[in-house]
Amino acid sequence: MSSADQRAFPVEGAGLGLRRSMMGEEVSPEHIDFLEVAPENWIGVGGRFGRWLREQTERFPFVTHGLSLSIGSPAPLDMDLVRSIKAFIREHDIRCYSEHLSYCSDHGHLYDLLPIPFTEEAVRYVAERIRRVQDTLGQRIAMENVSYYAAPGQEMTELDFITAVLEAADCDLLLDVNNIYVNSINHRYDPVDFLRGLPGERIAYVHVAGHYDEAEDLKVDTHGAPVIGPVWALLEEAYRLHGALPTLLERDFNIPPLPKLFEEVAQIREIQSHVQPQIQRKAQYAHR
């Protein structure tokens, strides 16, 4: 039986990242099961945007994906930000708060997601900061496996680093399938072996997105294009290994009209419905 068959998730089905540019379009529960926002983009926002967000959080289950916690930064944690996020979570009944396993500041924002060195020292440092955030929020958080283009001071593999942080911090995983695909090409490893090595019982939900082909051996995570065939195939493999996990489509620029995004969300649902009976058959066989 897959780990997904034995645990509860914060949300179910197929979701979409909500962007301000979508205001005025019909976001329909017929097409989407849950929505996600970056809390930093909405904390303290009033007026018509604030009213629109409130309308959506009253209609849909919501998760949040942070941009500026900077969990691996040498600078102190921004605990004022953490407390603001806590209030936002309570105000809008947010089901899960996730962040990037990276850093983006050092006594000032650097406006990019930079790689944390894959070392035992970094595991201890990051895990302690995650535990502080969880203690302040009063809930578990999910850390996302990120794309990276250099690995300074590497002493461990990416997979070993991620699993060590999750264990030491006792936190959850936001599984980004596109990031695995991008990294597997840029750093030459088998993405299915990587998926197989992840602790499925810690996966809260999944991200899937498009990327940019800089070269045959260099992919750049952009969230600015449709999801490609190999990434859909890798998502299906993730479901086979870990269950039909709740999955969200990310699109941050070159955003098409909602009906086009709904087509990709529908593809998530199709893969989930296709894989779920296979998982159930495996589970039934395992109990014989």
CATH number of the domain bearing residue 86: 3.20.20.150
Q: What is the pLDDT of residues 207-252, one digit of tens each?
A: 999 876 676 776 677 767 899 999 999 999 999 999 999 999 999 8
- Given this model, what pLDDT does residue 5 score? 52
Q: Which residues, at least 6 apart from 222, have a Cβ–Cβ distance to it below 8 Å? A: 210, 211, 212, 252, 253
- Given this model, what pLDDT does residue 99 score? 95
Q: Which is it for strands 34-37 and 103-105: parallel, antiparallel or unpaired?
A: unpaired
Q: What is the pLDDT of residues 58-109, one digit of tens each?
A: 999 999 999 889 888 888 999 999 999 999 999 999 999 999 997 664 554 5
Q: What's the number of domains the chain is made of?
A: 1
Q: Which of 149, 101, 96 is nearest to 126 (CA)?
A: 101
Q: Which of 194, 186, 225 is nearest to 208 (CA)?
A: 225
Query: pLDDT-based confidence at 19, cuts 50/70/90?
Result: very high
Distances (CA, A) of 185 to 207, 220, 230: 18, 10, 12
Residue 288 has pLDDT above 60, yes or no: no
Q: How far apart are CA 105 and CA 112, in angstroms?
A: 8
Q: Which domain holds residue 217?
A: 3-286
pTM of the model: 0.90
